[in-house]
Structure 1
Amino acid sequence: MNADFPRILTLLRKEKGISQKEAAGELGISQALLSHYEKGIRECGLDFLVRTADFYHVSCDYLLGRSPDRMGATLTVEDIPEPEQAAGKENTFRGSILPVLNKKLISNSLNVLFDLLQRANNKSLTGEVSSFLMLAVYRMFRVVYAAHPKNQDAMFTVPRRVADQYAGAMMQVHSANAQALVGGQPLDGQEPLRSSEELALTTDVINERYPMCASSLFNLVQNSEDKMTLQPK
């Protein structure tokens, strides 16, 4: 089989809130055999894989770790909803406006950043910046996810004890790569930024080019630097 199957098999059972004995009964095997499958000691056959997919209402591709989508869908740009559509009722006032405010500051500032990346027209730079940002969200998601003791670590392939350090290290790598690329330094298999003309900015240009997002960006910069200052206010 593969390394993902035992982890996902265990995750689905625990998220369903049933014991190994109950799951084994539903799947038509012994508890001992299911335990071996969940520990990766033994490999299952195709019949068991299909029964498991039907029982947990997921795809075989998801069980095998070939797709992060439970139905096995391959994500395309067209499949990803716009942030406003994905938010739905999540922007509804729920007693505290702070999460909504911060979300808008970050989302609007990202709009500016990714527009600049598009103007730079450098696939390597876009990849490095995107990877850095994804890892930042990943780290904080794992922190919040771990707050509830019943949330299953099996959702992740990297163990919690090292995930934050590994992610932090990779963020440093992607940050260094991005800085090298904008500095015109070629990296193995990556093209440096050839021209920065499209990235020339002033506060007036930002306000003119991004009238809906400029204020958010300026506030994000100020808030971030307020947190970094060494001088008490």
Structure 2
Amino acid sequence: MASEFNRILALLRKERGITQKQAAADLGISQAQLSHYEKGIRECSLAFVVQVADYYGVSCDYLLGRSADRSGQTISVADLPETGASTSGSVYRGSVLPTMYKKLIENSLDILYDKLQESKDKQLVIQISQYLMLAVYKVFRRLYDASPKNAVGMFRVGAARWQGNADAAMHVAEAELAAALTGEDGGKDSLDPATLSLSTERLTQDYPRHATSLLNLVKNAEESMRALHPAE
């Protein structure tokens, strides 16, 4: 938990665009002390956690990594906005977990595609969409292939090739996305950097109903990755 506090303490300062010196002065401590807190060299008091929460306008639970939402909200299925999809609710027969994850993903995609629309960059839209479609294709095909009752002839790419080909196509989509974002092909001039302003504060302001989904998706994804390296 301490490492979460260190990371978030530094993140909030950087998102606000202020130096350690300025933040330390505002908080009434030395720059060296704040640096130690941000690096995890020293433990701070509970009173300082509360002071920092007030200073940045976030909750203590967010500062401590207990909540992905700046307000400290702990989400439930009912808290997440409906996506309006025709499959909402009924297909899950009351099961909470798939409904929760479906909402997290769909609400996060709403933010992603809103940003893509702002970017007005055709290559970004194409490559990100290709990558996401391939990811869904891989999951669907695994589910389809798991039942011997499903007809083999549905897919044009054979059983021996589909996984390798899908992985390769996803890697290509990632490479083309990287090229589009870095301007390697000369297309970055049309991309306004402000479009990619994705601070937690900005996301919460611009997407008050959907940001919670995206921030919790990030938290859940990183928890699954960190589980691969429990020592960290």
- Which TM class, normalised by the smaller chain length? 0.5 to 0.7
3-state SS, counterpart of residue 112 of structure 2: helix
Q: Normalising by structure 1, what TM-score?
A: 0.59
Residue 160 of structure 1: CA displacement? Answer: 2.0
Paired residues in the alignment total: 148
Q: Tell me, in whole angstroms, the C-alpha distance in 2 between the residues paired with 1:165 and 1:98.
A: 30
Indicate how the Cα distance of structure 1 residues 152 and 135 shifts in structure 2: closer, same or farther if over 3 A, else same: same
Aligned partner of 2:145: which letter?
A
Cα displacement (A) at 1:210: 0.7
- 1:221 equivalent in structure 2: 218
Corresponding residue of 1:113: 112
- Deviations for 1:111-149, whole angstroms, at most 9, x for unmatched residues? 011111111110111000000000000000001111211
The residue type equivalent to 2:140 in the other structure is: F
1:123 matched to which residue of 2?
122
Residue 207 (structure 1) aligned with residue 204 (structure 2): yes
Q: 1:183, 1:192 within 8 Å by CA — same for their partners in 2?
A: yes
Q: What is the CA–CA distance in structure 2 between the aligned matches of 1:131 and 1:83, rounded to whole Å? A: 22
Please tell me whether the aligned partners of residues 128 and 173 of structure 2 are also in contact (alpha carbons under 8 angstroms): yes
Deviation, structure 1 residue 154: 0.6
Structure 1 stretches of 4+ with a deviation exceeding 2 A read: 88-91, 191-195
C-alpha change, 1:171 and 1:226, in structure 2 (3 Å) is same
Which structure 1 residue ranges, 5 or more long, are not aligned? 1-81
What is aligned with 2:158? Answer: 159
Q: What SS does the corresponding residue of 1:87 show, helix, strand or coil?
A: coil
> Where does structure 2 lack aligned partners over 5 or more consecutive residues?
1-81
Matches within 5 A, 1:58-69: none
1:38-53 alignment to 2 at 5 Å?
A: none
C-alpha contact (below 8 Å) 2:108/2:213 kept by paired residues: yes
Partners of 1:99 and 1:232 lie apart in 2 by: 30
CA contact (8 A) 1:129 1:178 kept: yes
How far the C-alpha of 1:192 sits from its partner, in A, is: 3.6
Aligned counterpart, 1:28 = none
1:231 shift after superposition: 2.3
What is the TM-score with the length of structure 2 in the denominator? 0.59
Q: Please state how far the C-alpha of 1:95 moved relative to its aligned partner.
A: 4.7
Instruction: Indicate conservation of the 8 Å contact 1:125/1:193, yes or no.
Output: no
Separation in 1, partners of 2:108, 2:155: 29
Cα deviations across residues 77-107 of structure 1 (Å, max 9, x unaligned)? Answer: xxxxx9524225535x525211111100000
User: For 1:62-211, what aligned pairs fall within 5 Å after superposition?
Assistant: 84-88=84-88, 90=90, 93-186=92-185, 191-192=187-188, 194=190, 195-211=192-208
RMSD: 2.0
Q: Work out whether residues 182 and 193 of structure 1, in 8 Å CA contact, stay in contact via their aligned partners in 2.
A: no
Are residues 133 and 193 of structure 1, via their aligned partners in 2, closer, same or farther at CA, if it must alter by over 3 Å?
farther
Matched residue type, 2:224: K
Instruction: Tell me the secondary structure at the aligned position of residue 86 of structure 1.
Output: coil
Deviations along 1:171-214, one digit per CA (max 9) or x if unpaired, are 01101110111111107xxx345332222121111011111110
Distance of 1:141 and 1:155 partners within structure 2: 12
SS class of match (1:117): helix
Q: Distance in 2 between matches of 1:83 and 1:213?
A: 10
